[in-house]
Amino acid sequence: MPKETFFNLPEEKRERILMAVVKEISRVPIDKISINKIIHDAEISRGSFYQYFIDKDDVIKYVTYDYIKNIRERVVESFRASEGDVFKAVEIILRGTMEYIIKSGNINFSKNILIQVKTDVEKTIALAVNSTDCILKIFKENMDISKLKEKNNEAIDDLLQMIFSIFKETVTRIFYDINNAELEYERFVRQIEIIKWGAIKEIK
Amino acid sequence: MPKETFFNLPEEKRERILMAVVKEISRVPIDKISINKIIHDAEISRGSFYQYFIDKDDVIKYVTYDYIKNIRERVVESFRASEGDVFKAVEIILRGTMEYIIKSGNINFSKNILIQVKTDVEKTIALAVNSTDCILKIFKENMDISKLKEKNNEAIDDLLQMIFSIFKETVTRIFYDINNAELEYERFVRQIEIIKWGAIKEIK
DNA sequence: ATTGACATGTGACAGGTTGTCATATATACT
DNA sequence: AGTATATATGACAACCTGTCACATGTCAAT
C-alpha cells in the first residue's frame, strides 16, 4: 500500500503519477518497469516517489489491486443481472470482459497486469484469491442450485472453481491473440455445455 | 537457444553451469535472477557466460524448455500406460506429477519454472503451446472415444483443453501450498467426475 | 508577524545490475 | 613452428534501485 503522503497529495498530482505508472506498465512487462521512466513522466523527483511508495513492488501491487477490484465489481454486477443461472452468467461475464478489454484500448496494460497476477503466486495471490473468494461467495449466495445434481457446499465449490479455471484460460488465450477472441468465446460456451450435461453418454 | 560454444564445452563444465543456473532459479523468482550469482557459483567469467548464452532470457528459456520437455515425456508415457481412458489417465498423471515435484526435493525450482511458463505469454508460450499441442495430439490419437457424446475433432479438443485448464489450476494450487496436495488431488478427481457426467440433472 | 513543528520535495550517491569488447590464452591444423 | 580458430577474461559503459542529508513548503500557536 502507498504511504499516507500519497493519499494526501492533491488529486491532480496523484492522477498524474498514476497515469505515468499505467503508461509504464503498458510499455513493458512488469519485470522491466523503470522507476526512472515513471518519475520523469510524472515530473516528480526520485525522492518524492519513495515518499509515496515503499518500493517498486508497492506501486505495481497497488495498481494491480485497483484493476482487479474494478473487474470484480463488474463481474459481481453482471452476475446480479443474470437471475442466478451461473452458466448463463459466466458467458455474459466473459463477453463483458472481452468488451471491457477491447474498449479500454490499452490491451498491453491489461495483459501485463494479468501476467502480474498470474506470476505473483506468493505476494499478490492473497488479493487475487480474496477477489476470487469474494466472487465465489456472491455466486454461491445468489445462484440457482435447483437443477444441480449435487447441491452440497463442496460440490458447488468444485463446480465454480472449475468454471473459473476455464474462464481464466480463455481470457489468457484472448490476450495471446485478440483476433481469436470470438472463436475463444464460442469454445468457452461449448465447454460450459460439456460441464452442464457431461461428456459421456449415459448407459441406457 | 544457447550458442554453439556452450554445447562444445566439456560436459563437466556444462553441468557445472547448469547446476548454478538451477540453484539460482531455485533461490529467487525469475525476475530477480542474478547473472553475477550464477557466474560466481559456476566459477566462470562474465565474458564466458555471454559466449555461451545470448542473454539472461536465453539461459532461462533453455532451462525452462528442458524442464517442460521432461514433464511432457513423463505425461506421454503415463498416458500410453492408461489404455485410452483420458479421465483415468489425467488422474494418474496428476498423481505422478505430484510425486515428481515432491520427490525432486526442489520445490522452489519447479515453482519458479511454472511461474515463468505462465508468465511468459509471448516468449516461451510458443514452446509451452507446442508442448501442449504435442500432448494433445498423442491424447487424441490414442484415446478411447467410444463413450463420448460428441466424437468430432472440435469437441474432443474442447474437452481436452478444458481438462488441461483444470489440471494446471490444480498444479498451481498444489505449489501454492504443498500441504494441500492431497485435498487438491481429491478435488481434481471430483471435477473430472462432473465433466464426465455433467452438473445438471436430466429432466425426466 | 515570528516561531517552530511537521509535511513534502530534492538530487547526489552507494551499491547493485546487464551486456560489450579489446585483449589474452588455449587448441587444432597445416 | 606458425597460423587460424575457438575460448577465456575482467574492465567498462550504461543503466538500474533505494537512501539520505538537506531544502523548501505549510500551518497553528504565540
> DSSP letters of chain A?
---HHHHHS-HHHHHHHHHHHHHHHHHS-GGG--HHHHHHHHT--HHHHHHH-SSHHHHHHHHHHHHHHHHHHHHHHHHHTTTT-HHHHHHHHHHHHHHHHHHTS-HHHHHHHHHHHHH-TTTTHHHHHHHHHHHHHHHHHH---TTBS--SHHHHHHHHHHHHHHHHHHHHHHHH-GGGHHHHHHHHHHHHHHHHH-SBPPP-
Is the pLDDT at B29 greater than 90? The verdict is: no
Strand D, nucleotides covered by protein (CB < 7 Å): 6-12, 15-21
Measured distance between the N- and C-terminal CA atoms of chain B, rounded to whole angstroms = 59
C-alpha cell at B105: 526435493
Q: What span, in angstroms and rounded, lies between the C-alpha atoms of A45 and A39?
A: 6
Contacts of B57 in chain A (CB under 8 A): none
Which pLDDT value is given to residue A29? 86
Q: Is the CB of residue B5 less than 8 Å from the CB of residue B51?
A: yes
Which pLDDT value is given to residue A71? 85
- Of A137-146, B3-12, B92-101, B169-178, give the range with the top mean pLDDT: B3-12
Bridge partners (DSSP) of residue B200 are A148
Out of A5-9, A63-67, B129-133, B189-193, which region has the weakest mean confidence (pLDDT)? Answer: B129-133
Q: Which are the contacts of B88, defined by CB distance < 8 A and separation ≥ 6?
A: B82
* Comparison of pLDDT for A2 and A133, the residue scoring more: A2
Q: What span, in angstroms and rounded, lies between the C-alpha atoms of A147 and A138?
A: 18
Q: What span, in angstroms and rounded, lies between the C-alpha atoms of B6 and B1?
A: 10
Answer whether B199 sits within 8 Å of A195, measured CB to CB: yes
Is the pLDDT at A122 greater than 60? The verdict is: no
**What share of chain A has pLDDT > 70, as a percent?**
93
**Strand D contacted by B45 CB (< 7 A):** yes
Q: Which residue has the cell 539461459?
A: B59
Q: What span, in angstroms and rounded, lies between the C-alpha atoms of B123 and A119?
A: 15
Q: What span, in angstroms and rounded, lies between the C-alpha atoms of A110 and A100?
A: 10
* Degrees, nearest 5: CA angle A168-A128-A102: 50
Interface of A with B (CB under 8 A): 29-31, 111, 115, 118-119, 121, 125, 147-150, 154-155, 158-159, 161-162, 164-166, 168-169, 172, 175-176, 187, 190-191, 194-202
Average pLDDT value for residue range B116-121: 68
pLDDT band at A172 (very low <50, low <70, confident <90, very high): confident
Cα dihedral: A150, A97, A109, B110 (round 10): 20
CA-CA-CA-CA torsion sign (B186, B188, B192, B193): positive
Buried b (16+ CB within 10 A) or exposed e, B92-112: ebbeebbeebeeeeeeebbbb
Question: Which one, of B60, B62, B63, B93, lies nearest residue B76 by Cα?
Answer: B93
Which pLDDT value is given to residue B68? 84
Is the pLDDT at B130 greater than 80? The verdict is: no
pLDDT band at A190 (very low <50, low <70, confident <90, very high): very high
Is the pLDDT at A163 greater than 90? The verdict is: yes
Is the pLDDT at A198 greater than 90? The verdict is: yes
Interface of B with A (CB under 8 A): 29-31, 111, 115, 118-119, 121, 125, 147-150, 154-155, 158-159, 161-162, 164-166, 168-169, 172, 175-176, 187, 190-191, 194-202
Q: Is the CB of residue B148 less than 8 Å from the CB of residue B155?
A: yes
Which pLDDT value is given to residue B76? 86
Q: Nearest by CB to B190, from A118, A158, A200: name it.
A: A158
Out of A53-57, A88-92, A111-115, A192-196, which region has the weakest mean confidence (pLDDT)? Answer: A111-115
Is the pLDDT at B121 greater than 80? The verdict is: no
Which pLDDT value is given to residue B78? 87
Which pLDDT value is given to residue B156? 95
Is the pLDDT at B128 greater than 70? The verdict is: no
- For residue range B150-169, what is the model confidence (pLDDT) as tens digits? 999 999 999 999 999 999 88
* Residue type (1 letter), A108: N
Average pLDDT value for residue range A180-203: 94
Tell me the pTM. Answer: 0.88
Answer whether A158 sits within 8 Å of B200, measured CB to CB: no
- For residue range B35-84, what is the model confidence (pLDDT) as tens digits? 999 999 999 999 999 999 999 999 998 998 888 888 888 888 888 888 88
Out of A136-145, B120-129, B183-192, which region has the weakest mean confidence (pLDDT)? Answer: B120-129
Which pLDDT value is given to residue B193? 97
Is the pLDDT at A127 greater than 70? The verdict is: no
Answer whether A165 sits within 8 Å of B168, measured CB to CB: yes
